[in-house]
């Protein structure tokens, strides 16, 4: 699910070029103590931050962009530095800092023309933290919620177009987690709990790749519970929507075996 460092940079480079924006004065006092910047004019400081970013020194760049806002809070450069700080934290893989920086920009400039990009940074920062289905999927849900919010607010932007692709991937990931739990319940003989998980996949995540297996496992679970009519219904839905799949072949054999 995760993008490589190169593809992440490629995905956001165009946006950064267009944005040229914003940052966030959010570094801890200890970090501030370690990063002392001599007061200088705003343009010089901003350009220094940009040069640092161009050298791929992402965390250092974020700190300098933060310093732009700290030293010159009422300048137009401060607003530009805020989002640039968020982007720099994102590239440094300090996703929580990137989220906080982008959200702060939105709270201060909700109607700014670069607000879609700030929402995109928030969504991408959650998306990059998605982990394998064997672990808690809270961050996956946060990524999905953020991606949906971006599409809802700014449906015609290039950020929304990319978000729609990632929404499908996030939903597939959540469905995969449901399947893992359902299979575990099934192995333990807890068929009612398994049915609940498999039905959730078939109904809530009906466009994901996990639906055929979910329907076949519903057939298995219903037969194990002694509810053959429900098993036949699940098999019929599976056959109608995925007639050539291996899951339908398995379900068909199970139903035929039970009838015999």
Tell me the three-class secondary structure of the chain, residue by residue. CCCCHHHHHHHHHHHHHHHCCECCCCCCHHHHHHCCCCCCCHHHHHHHHHHHHHCCCHHHHHHHHHHHHHHCCCCHHHHHHHHHHHHHHHHCCCHHHHHHHHHHHHHHCCCCCCHHHHHHHHHHHHHCCCCCCCCCCHHHHHHHHHHHHHHHHCCCCHHHHHHHHHHHHHHHHHHHHHHHHHHHHHHCCCHHHHHHHHHHHHHHCCCCCCHHHHHHHHHHHHHHHCCHHHHHHHHHHHHHHCCCCHHHHHHHHHHHHHHC
One domain for residues 24 and 111: yes
In this predicted structure, the answer to whether residue 22 has a pLDDT above a threshold of 50 is no
| Predicted pLDDT at 39 | 52
Region 143-148 average pLDDT: 96
Asked if residue 9 and residue 125 are part of one domain, the reply reads yes
Query: Quick one: 100 and 35 in the same domain?
Result: yes
51: tokens are: 């040069």
Residues 11 and 111 reside in one and the same domain: yes
Q: Are residues 60 and 120 in the same domain?
A: yes
Quote the CA–CA distance of 45 and 74 in Å, as a whole number. 15
Specify whether 123 is located in the same domain as 225.
Answer: no
Q: Which residue has the higher pLDDT, 23 or 167?
A: 167
User: Which of 101, 129, 157 delimits the end of a domain?
Assistant: 129
> Domain boundary at 93, 108, 129, which?
129
Question: Cα–Cα distance between 184 and 193 in angstroms, integer?
Answer: 10
Indicate whether 43 and 105 sit together in one domain: yes
Angle 183-189-191 from CA coordinates, rounded to 5°: 70
pLDDT at 17 over 90: no
Is 115 contained in some domain?
yes
User: Looking at the structure, do residues 125 and 10 belong to the same domain, yes or no?
Assistant: yes
Q: Is 14 in the same domain as 96? A: yes
User: Could you tell me the residue range of the domain that residue 222 belongs to?
Assistant: 178-259
Domain assignment of residue 149, yes or no? no
Same domain? For 118 and 187 the reply is no
Q: How many domains would you assign to the chain?
A: 2
pLDDT at 36 (0 to 100): 47
Do 115 and 208 reside in the same domain of the chain?
no
Q: Which of 129, 155, 188 is the last residue of a domain?
A: 129
Would residue 185 count as lying in a domain? yes
pTM score: 0.77
The answer to the question of residue 78 being in a domain is: yes
Q: Is residue 30 part of a domain?
A: yes
Q: What is the pLDDT of residues 39-96, one digit of tens each?
A: 568 888 899 999 999 999 999 999 999 998 888 888 888 888 999 999 999 999 999 9
Residue 183 lies inside a defined structural domain of this protein: yes
Q: What is the CATH number of the domain that holds 119?
A: 1.25.40.10
Angle at the Cα of 212 from the Cα atoms of 218 and 216, rounded to 5 degrees? 30
- Distance of alpha carbon 233 from alpha carbon 165, whole angstroms: 32
By C-alpha distance, which of 167, 161, 186 is closest to 126?
Answer: 167
119 and 230 co-located in one domain:
no
């Amino acid at each position: 699910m995760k993008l490589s460092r190169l593809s992440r940079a490629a995905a956001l480079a165009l946006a950064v070029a267009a944005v040229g924006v914003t940052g966030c004065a959010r570094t801890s006092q200890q970090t501030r103590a370690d990063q002392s910047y001599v007061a200088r004019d705003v343009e010089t400081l901003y350009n220094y931050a940009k040069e640092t970013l161009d050298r791929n020194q992402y965390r250092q760049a974020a700190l300098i962009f933060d310093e732009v806002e700290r030293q010159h809070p009422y300048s137009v450069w401060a607003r530009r530095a805020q989002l640039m700080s968020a982007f720099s934290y994102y590239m440094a893989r300090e996703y929580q800092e990137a989220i906080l920086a982008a959200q702060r920009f939105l709270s201060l400039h909700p109607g700014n023309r670069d607000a879609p990009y700030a929402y995109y940074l928030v969504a991408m920062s959650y998306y990059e933290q998605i982990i394998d289905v064997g672990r808690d999927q809270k961050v996956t849900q946060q990524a999905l919620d953020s991606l949906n919010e971006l599409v809802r607010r700014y449906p015609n932007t290039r950020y929304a177009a990319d978000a729609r692709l990632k929404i499908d991937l996030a939903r597939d990931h959540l469905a995969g987690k449901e399947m893992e739990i359902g299979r575990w319940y099934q192995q333990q003989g807890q068929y009612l709990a398994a049915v609940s998980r498999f039905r959730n996949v078939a109904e809530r995540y009906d466009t994901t790749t996990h639906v055929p297996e979910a329907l076949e496992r519903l057939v298995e679970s219903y037969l194990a519970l002694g509810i053959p009519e429900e098993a036949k219904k699940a098999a019929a839905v599976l056959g109608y929507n995925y007639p050539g799949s291996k899951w339908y072949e398995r379900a068909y054999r199970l139903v035929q075996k039970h009838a015999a």
